[in-house]
Every structure is written in structure tokens, then in C-alpha cells.
């Protein structure tokens, strides 16, 4: 696309490379994710790497919109799909395992859960959210097998490249471990979507841009940008009640995301530009409840600047 401008802008398309567009181009029709709970836990919760999880993580392991874990994968799929089909009645589906760490189990368990999801009608692929420290060789072998016979994304949690931030949020792994996880998946030809979070206390604009520029230089195909949410019942919520530290304003967030888009590779697929907190559990920032207002404001900011994803990307950064 020449990296300069998307000719499709004249037809009302985004100034960044959306997952929705990518999936339509890949499958020829609308594809959406059906969020499922595979019943996994996390090494950051069971004592292997820590207890209680990351300080921002909800009681459902960030799977607040997934199916009910007490139900079978098939039953979850039907329930979640039916809710989503009200908006998109004719579509195909990606089975999306988001809650907790979805490679943190023996391969026999992973195979049981994933294969049941892939057997559901009109499922065209699978997206698996996990941690970089939960990719042993036998799991990588199975992911490589999946990648050869279906459409696969592995969504890998990073959040920040700064180990001081990782320690503060109790991630339980380092940036170097994340890089090793990316390398292992890249070596097997598996698509990787990196999760980052903006708005951690103590991180400056320069810190967050450094994370974006580091991701831009990695051999990954996608990014998911989240806003730090304060969710009821989390350790972060207790800390916020005591200190009430500043979070990005609506305007600051829109400007920051626009800056980040400019430095990302034009071909990188943007899975998300803002997060969804369960409305009843969200403490702050309350403006984030209006997801479409945030997305529309980012569109307007890019238009106002006459800028686009990749405008400031340097190929010299690629590794």
C-alpha cells in the first residue's frame, strides 16, 4: 500500500490496519471472536510465579466477557455466539481463549479444549491469550501443529517493556522472558499479537512510547492496546482508593494512541485501541465506558493531523 496513504480512506476506511479488515480480506466475510473460558489458571495466581495475579487483573482473569466456565466449551460457544449474532447475524467465528493463561496446562488438556472449540460450526480459527513464560517445547509443538491446519493467533501479554513496571504490577516475568517467547513463536511461523497497557502510574509519555517502539521492532504481526482500568476487587483498586493516582484523560489517551499508531509498522494488525471494563465493576477511568466515542475521537485526531499508521515508522528499527 505504499506506506504513505491508504487509498481506501476515500471510501471511509480507517487510517490504521484493523483486525476486522484483515479478517474480511482473509476469509471474504465478517469474522468475530467468541470468547470462551477454558478453565485454566495462571502461574501468577497459583504460587508458581506469584499469588493473586497481576494487580489490575479481575477475578475472572481478564475474561469478563467470556462464557461461563462451569459450562462446556460447546455450550459457552452457543451462548456467546447467540449474543454476538444479534449484531452480526451472518458471520464466521474465531474461538477466543482470553481468561487467565491459556497454555498453562498439559498438552492433553489444551488439545481437549481447543479441539472442541474448533469443531463448532463456522469456526474458522482460534486465538489463544497466554504468557511468555508458559510456552514449553511440547506446547510450542502443539501450537505449531494447530498453525499448520487452522488460522491461529497467539496473544502474548507484555504490558510494558520496563521491568520496574512489570515488578510493580506483579507480572511475574521479565522483558527478556517475553522476548524469548516471541522468538520461540516466530521460529515456528506462528502469528503473535502483543498486549500492551497504557497509563501505569510512574510511566511517562516517553516510557510508553518506548514500549510502542520496541513492539514495532519485533517480528510480530499484531498489537492490542489497552487502557489501564481500575476494576473493583483488584489489588489495584485498593491501591487507587488509598492513593488515587492520576490516569490518562480522554484527550491524553486519544493523543497518545495516535502517536503510537504513527510509529507502528503499516502492516501490523491493530486488534484493539482501547479496552473494555465490565461496566458494573469499573471504578476508573469512567470515560472509557464510551468505547465508540474513544475510537471515533482517534479517527478524528488522525484526520486532523493528516497522519496514519506507520507514518513515522522506520524500517531501520526492524529486527
Structural domain contains residue 162: yes
Question: Which tens digits make up the pLDDT trace of 81-127?
Answer: 888 777 777 899 999 998 889 999 999 999 999 999 999 999 999 99
pLDDT attached to residue 5: 47
Q: What is the mean pLDDT of the chain?
A: 90
DSSP 142: H
State the pTM of this model.
0.92
User: Which comes out higher in pLDDT, residue 288 or 65?
Assistant: 288
Dihedral through CA 79, CA 130, CA 269, CA 140, nearest 10?
-110
Question: Which tens digits make up the pLDDT trace of 243-297?
Answer: 889 999 999 999 999 999 999 999 999 999 998 777 889 999 999 999 999 999 9
One DSSP character per residue, 43-95 reads: TTTBSSS-BS--TT--TTTT-TTS--TTS-HHHHHHHHHHHHHTT-SS-EEEE
Can you state the angle between helices 107-118 and 73-85, rounded to 10 degrees?
40
Question: Which residue is associated with the grid cell 501505569?
Answer: 200
pLDDT over 70, % of the chain = 92
- Residue 144 burial by CB count (10 A; 0-12/13-18/19+): exposed, middle or buried? middle
pLDDT attached to residue 301: 98
Structural domain contains residue 108: yes
Structural domain contains residue 8: no
pLDDT attached to residue 136: 97
Of the pLDDT bands very low, low, confident and very high (cuts 50, 70, 90), residue 319 is: very low
DSSP 105: S
pLDDT attached to residue 2: 39
Domain with 294, as residue range(s), is 19-305
* pLDDT at residue 1 greater than cutoff 50: no
Structural domain contains residue 103: yes
Structural domain contains residue 319: no
- Structurally, the chain folds into a number of domains equal to 1
Of the pLDDT bands very low, low, confident and very high (cuts 50, 70, 90), residue 66 is: low
Whether the link from the prior residue into 77 is cis, omega within 30° of 0, is no
- Return the CATH number at 74: 3.20.20.70
- Residue 287 burial by CB count (10 A; 0-12/13-18/19+): exposed, middle or buried? middle
Structural domain contains residue 314: no
**Range 147-173 average pLDDT:** 96
Amino acid at each position: 500500500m505504499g506506506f504513505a496513504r491508504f487509498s481506501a480512506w476515500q471510501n471511509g476506511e480507517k487510517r490504521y490496519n484493523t483486525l476486522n479488515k484483515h479478517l474480511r480480506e482473509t476469509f471474504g466475510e465478517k469474522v468475530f471472536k467468541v470468547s470462551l473460558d477454558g478453565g485454566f489458571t495462571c502461574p501468577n495466581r497459583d504460587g508458581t510465579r506469584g499469588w493473586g495475579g497481576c494487580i489490575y487483573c479481575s477475578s475472572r482473569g481478564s475474561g469478563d466477557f467470556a462464557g461461563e466456565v462451569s459450562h462446556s466449551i460447546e455450550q459457552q460457544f452457543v451462548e456467546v455466539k447467540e449474543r454476538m449474532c444479534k449484531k452480526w447475524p451472518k458471520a464466521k467465528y474465531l474461538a477466543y481463549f482470553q481468561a487467565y493463561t491459556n497454555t498453562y496446562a498439559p498438552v492433553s488438556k489444551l488439545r481437549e479444549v481447543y479441539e472442541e472449540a474448533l469443531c463448532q460450526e463456522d469456526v474458522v480459527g482460534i486465538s489463544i491469550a497466554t504468557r511468555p513464560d508458559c510456552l514449553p517445547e511440547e506446547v510450542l509443538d502443539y501450537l505449531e501443529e494447530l498453525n499448520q491446519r487452522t488460522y491461529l493467533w497467539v496473544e502474548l501479554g507484555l504490558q510494558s517493556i520496563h521491568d520496574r513496571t512489570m515488578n510493580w504490577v506483579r507480572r511475574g516475568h521479565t522483558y527478556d522472558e517475553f522476548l524469548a517467547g516471541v522468538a520461540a513463536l516466530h521460529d515456528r511461523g506462528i502469528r503473535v499479537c502483543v498486549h500492551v497497557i497504557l497509563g501505569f502510574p510512574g510511566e511517562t509519555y516517553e516510557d510508553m512510547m518506548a514500549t510502542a517502539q520496541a513492539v514495532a521492532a519485533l517480528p510480530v504481526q499484531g498489537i492490542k492496546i489497552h487502557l489501564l482500568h481500575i476494576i473493583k476487587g483488584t489489588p489495584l483498586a485498593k491501591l487507587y482508593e488509598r492513593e488515587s493516582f492520576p490516569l490518562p484523560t480522554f484527550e491524553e489517551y486519544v493523543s497518545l494512541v495516535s502517536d503510537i499508531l504513527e510509529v507502528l509498522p503499516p502492516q501490523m494488525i491493530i486488534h484493539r485501541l482501547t479496552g473494555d471494563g465490565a461496566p458494573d465493576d469499573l471504578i476508573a477511568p469512567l470515560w472509557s465506558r464510551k468505547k465508540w466515542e474513544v475510537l471515533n475521537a482517534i479517527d478524528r485526531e488522525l484526520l486532523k493531523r493528516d497522519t496514519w499508521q506507520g507514518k513515522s515508522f522506520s524500517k531501520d528499527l526492524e529486527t
